[in-house]
Every structure is written in structure tokens, then in C-alpha cells.
Structure 1
Amino acid sequence: MTRPSTLDSDGLPAAVLWDLDGTLLDSEKLWDVPLYELGEQLGAPLSVETRRAMVGTNIPTTMGLLFGSAGISPSAEQVRDAVAYVDSRMAELFATKATFRPGALEALRSVRDSGVPTALVTSTERALAEVALDTVGREFFDVSVCGDEVDGLNKPLPEPYLKAARLLGVSAERCVAVEDSPTGTASAVAAGCLVVVVPCDVPVAAGERRVLRDSLVGFGPEALRALR
């Protein structure tokens, strides 16, 4: 495991970059609802393996997996209708059913109180992320980068994390990202971040520039300093 060598003199990173689904919110289970419903509507119940392949990806990738598993080459209208259905259901679920992952809210508060700049880096598209931010608390983030704001260069490519670092005016190599999925972890590692990984629904293998944790309980400035 390679640790960052360019942290600030107080031992803190230049910024903390937070993933959303499965990291801060226990929302992968919420995404299950419309995705499994759509699979039923397409006449091909979504397999566990296909659902796992969707974790951490963006909407176009998810739609490709969904229709592909049903053996359907969809029209643009079919894709638009499916996306609209997912967005509508998820807006309702984010507003009424979303809960924090263990320790996540306290971690957000602790990191925010430390004065370290922060960003939300999510594959969720902006309109839906705004609903989620009402639940999470937009006051915890200086900037946010959403899945429809990276010109198709979504996770696992590095651009979402590179863009967040650019918006904050820092080098991604001096940032700590917090992720839950293999896709998101790959994105943050490719950007040069050190990644704190708290797996949710899908295991994440140990590897370069990543530190695995069981939860975000107790995650704050001292935990960040311990990453040196």
C-alpha cells in the first residue's frame, strides 16, 4: 500500500472527497427497488451478478447492463423512459427512506469541523443528487461532482475525482477519497488519491493506495493523520 507523502504539515490531507451511494448513504438497497422492478417489467428478472456489476457505475452503464441482461437492444425512447422511471422512484426513496451508513454522519461532521476542504463525488446525476443532498446535508461539502458532469468520463475513470480536486484547487494526489465499491475505488486510485474503502454490498480487494475499514465509525482528523 502506497501512502501519500505530501500531506499538509499538520498531517491532514489537502481535501477529503466523499462518494455518496453505499458510502455515506445506505442507498444501494434503495437503487435495488427500481432496478429489480424494471427487470421484471422487461421480462428478465435482474440477476444478483448483474446488479452487483452496476454498483458504483453511472446511469448509461446501468441501463446497458439492465437491457443487455434482458437481451434487448433498446430504442432511445425506451432508455429515456427507463431512466425517468428510476429517477422518479429514487427521488421518492431518497426523500423518504434514505439512511446513513454506520458512522457516516459523525464522520462528515468531524471532517468538516477540522477545516479540511471536502467534495461529494458521485455517479448519481445532478438532479437526483440534489435530492440526496437534502438528506445528507449540503453544508458538509464545498463542491460536488455528479455523474452527468464529467463528459462521459465516469467512474472507474479518474475524471470525477480529478475534477473535484480541480474545483477545490488542490492536487488529487494530496487528497483522501472515501469509497465503498470496486468501481469507485478504481476511479480514485487512478486519480492518484489515497482511498479509504468501506465496502458495502460488494467486496473490494486490498491493493495500491487503499486502506480498508469496516465502517466510518471513529473516522475523523485523527484517523486521517494516521494515514501518513
Structure 2
Amino acid sequence: MPEVVLADPSVAGVALEGVLWDMDGTLLDSEKIWDVAMHGLAAELGGVMTPQTRQSIIGASGPDALATVFAALALDPTPAALAEADAWMNARVAELFTRGIPWRPGALDALRAVRASGLRTALVTNTDRELAEQALDTLGREHFDVTVCGDEVPHGKPQPDPYLRAAALLGLDPAQCLAVEDSPTGAAAAVAAGCAVLVVPCEVAVPTGPRRVHRTTLEGMGESMLASVWRDAHA
């Protein structure tokens, strides 16, 4: 893929060098799997997962999601209780993942097109490494130069840590990277890190904002779409 250079003279010479992919809800239609597990966790804890609580934790890191659930159910978030809930959740999601993880529309072709372009690529997810490795059996490890998981950084999304680490591992400045996200949490993390963001919402609406370009699907992603998104993100 030829170098994609911004047309705006104020940022001339800043080329798109890397694509940083979110996983749940962006590449894989796995939020529905997490939905089953989250409702099960609430029942296990003696409560009910409301639609409002579930929506508020889409895209959240594991610790943030559990803190929200415990607060919504008026439970004492002791370290032992949180650890037990985390273990239950990870075991349940791992079990559900074994049944197969569906792709988001156009995601596999988009991965292949970006990989073929020669751009550096990373998977950047709030999901812990153990579950991400299981998901990578579906995604294909060959599509990524590096992978960054939620339990490998000090703070998960919406903090910028996962995207900062991914860019550093690729040897890039975040300003040279396009993040692909589906949630408000993920988009906020990518922007905070200094990336441009292609937003393809899945389960919840994502606010517009600087350096964000919204599309309804990953279908048709190739050189021309990447160039268009890159220009629009810096307009």
C-alpha cells in the first residue's frame, strides 16, 4: 500500500503507518457472549443485570466493569469478592468462546486487506490475555504484529495505556496510527493516546469528536477507504 500522507499542510508528512484493532464488538461479535456471561454473573451474585448497567460497561476493562456491577448491586467490593467474581466471569466466557465466536461484518476481509497493505498492525483489547489467546484462534495471529491485553497495562481503556503500549511495541508514534473501535470507552482511549479513530459502532452509540471518523461497517475497507478515513480524521 502506498504511503498515506495527509493533505493538510499543517500536518503534511504525517503518514499512516499502523492500524490498531479493538477486538470485542469491532472484529468479533463477542459482546453478545459477554452479555450472556454478565447476566449470569449478576445472578450468581444474587442480583439482576439491568440494561442500563450492561450498556455502561460495554468496552470497559475487567476491573472497571466489576466495580460498576458491584456498585449497581450494592455489594461490598472486597478484594476477595472481586477476585472470585473475576474468576467466575473468565471461566464462563472461556466456556462460551469454545462454542464459536462470530465475526463482525466485513472484519475478516478488512484484517486481510490491511495486512496485505504492509501497514503494521496490533490487536488492542481490554480482554485479559488468557481469553484473548482463545479469541486469537478465531482471529488468526498472523494478522497482527503485536497484541496488547487489558491485564498487561497499568490501566485499561478508557485510559490511553493500551494504545500507547501498542504503538510503542510497533515502534510508532500514536499519531501515525489509526485505531478501529466500536465503543465510547475504546474511542476515548485511542484519542487520549493520540491516535486517529475509525468508529464502527456495535452495541452502543459512540459520540462524535475530533480525530474520530464514523462508518457503519468494516465492509469495503481497503487502501482507498483507509486513505479517506485518515484524511477525514485530520480535517
Instruction: Tell me the secondary structure at the aligned position of residue 30 of structure 1.
Output: helix
What residue in structure 2 maps to residue 78 of structure 1? 81
What residue in structure 2 maps to residue 208 of structure 1? 210
What is the CA–CA distance in structure 2 between the aligned matches of 1:7 and 1:94, rounded to whole Å?
39
Cα deviation for residue 95 of structure 1 reads 2.6
Q: Which moved more, 1:206-215 or 1:66-75?
A: 66-75
Q: Which moved more, 1:74-83 or 1:117-126?
A: 74-83
Instruction: Tell me the secondary structure at the aligned position of residue 118 of structure 1.
Output: strand
What residue in structure 1 maps to residue 138 of structure 2? 135
What is the CA–CA distance in structure 2 between the aligned matches of 1:32 and 1:172, rounded to whole Å?
31
- Unaligned 5+ runs, structure 2: 1-7
Cα deviation for residue 104 of structure 1 reads 0.3
Preserved contact between residue 180 and residue 204 of structure 1 (Cα < 8 Å): yes
Q: What TM-score, normalized to structure 1?
A: 0.93
The Cα RMSD (Å) is 1.3
Letter of the aligned partner of 2:186 in structure 1? G
Match of 1:195 among 194, 197, 218: 197
- Unaligned 5+ runs, structure 1: none
Change beyond 3 A, Cα 1:15–1:141: same
Preserved contact between residue 34 and residue 85 of structure 1 (Cα < 8 Å): no
Change beyond 3 A, Cα 1:116–1:33: same
Cα deviation for residue 6 of structure 1 reads 4.1
Match of 1:148 among 148, 151, 154: 151
Change beyond 3 A, Cα 1:193–1:81: same
Letter of the aligned partner of 1:214 in structure 2? T
Letter of the aligned partner of 1:158 in structure 2? P
Q: Percent identity?
A: 52
Counterparts of residues 160-175 of structure 1 (less than 5 Å): 160-175=162-177
Q: What TM-score, normalized to structure 2?
A: 0.90
Preserved contact between residue 15 and residue 118 of structure 1 (Cα < 8 Å): yes
Letter of the aligned partner of 1:181 in structure 2? S
| Equivalent residue pairs, number | 221
